């Protein structure tokens, strides 16, 4: 089973929820993990089972990054807000970087998230 992280900044959370509803069947075949608030919304607004880490600004991005570093993660869908600065920018950069270090599939917008989920669940 593929392990997949789902993360969205506040302005992008509606788009992530909509994406999760559209791909609910495919996502249900994955072992899902999310940052705190994103995970809470996924749990309440979809039928998906999601493991929740801390909220992003409180270390959640780093907790997911640690799993990437440990080779436990198959993909990360991270809908970042490209228009607003985040207080935990260093944590965000660290997560993106560690995905590249470990060649872990990373999607930061809906178009690439679609490719990622389709690819992951086809081969997964």
Catalytically annotated residues: 61
29 is in an annotated binding site: no
* 55 belongs to an annotated ligand binding site: yes
Q: How far apart are the first and last CA of the chain?
A: 6
Minimum distance, C-beta of residue 26 to ligand 13P, in the bound complex (Å): 21
75 forms bridges with which residues in the sheet?
4, 105
Residues that bind ligand 13P (CB under 6 A): 7, 9, 35-38, 55-57, 60-61, 92
Q: Among residues 22 and 90, whose Cβ is nearest to ligand 13P?
A: 90
- Least Å distance, CB 80 to ligand 13P, is 7
Residue 102 phi, psi (nearest 5): -100, 10
CA 122 to chain CA centroid, nearest Å: 18
Minimal distance, residue 104 CB to ligand 13P, in Å: 16
Q: Which is nearer to ligand 13P, 84 or 123 (CB)?
A: 84
The answer to whether the beta carbons of residues 113 and 77 sit under 8 Å apart is: yes
- Decide whether 21 or 124 has the Cβ nearer to ligand 13P: 21
Q: Which residue is nearest to ligand 13P (CB)?
A: 56
Q: Are 61 and 7 in contact (CB under 8 A)?
A: yes
| 9 in a known ligand binding site | yes
Phi/psi of residue 51, nearest 5 degrees: -80, 130
Beta bridge pairs of residue 76: 5, 106
- Residue ranges of the annotated binding site for substrate are 9, 13, 35-38, 55-56, 88
């Amino acid at each position: 089973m593929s392990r997949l992280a789902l993360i969205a900044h506040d302005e992008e959370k509606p788009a992530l929820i909509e994406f999760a509803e559209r791909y609910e069947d495919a996502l249900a075949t994955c072992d899902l993990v999310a940052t705190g608030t994103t995970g809470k919304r996924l749990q309440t607004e979809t039928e998906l089972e999601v493991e929740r880490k801390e909220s992003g600004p409180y270390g959640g991005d780093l907790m997911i990054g640690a799993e990437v570093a440990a080779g436990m993660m198959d993909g990360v869908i991270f809908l970042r807000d490209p228009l607003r600065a985040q207080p935990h920018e260093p944590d965000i950069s660290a997560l993106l970087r560690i995905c590249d270090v470990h060649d872990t599939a990373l999607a930061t917008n809906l178009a690439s998230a679609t490719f990622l989920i389709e690819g992951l669940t086809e081969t997964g």
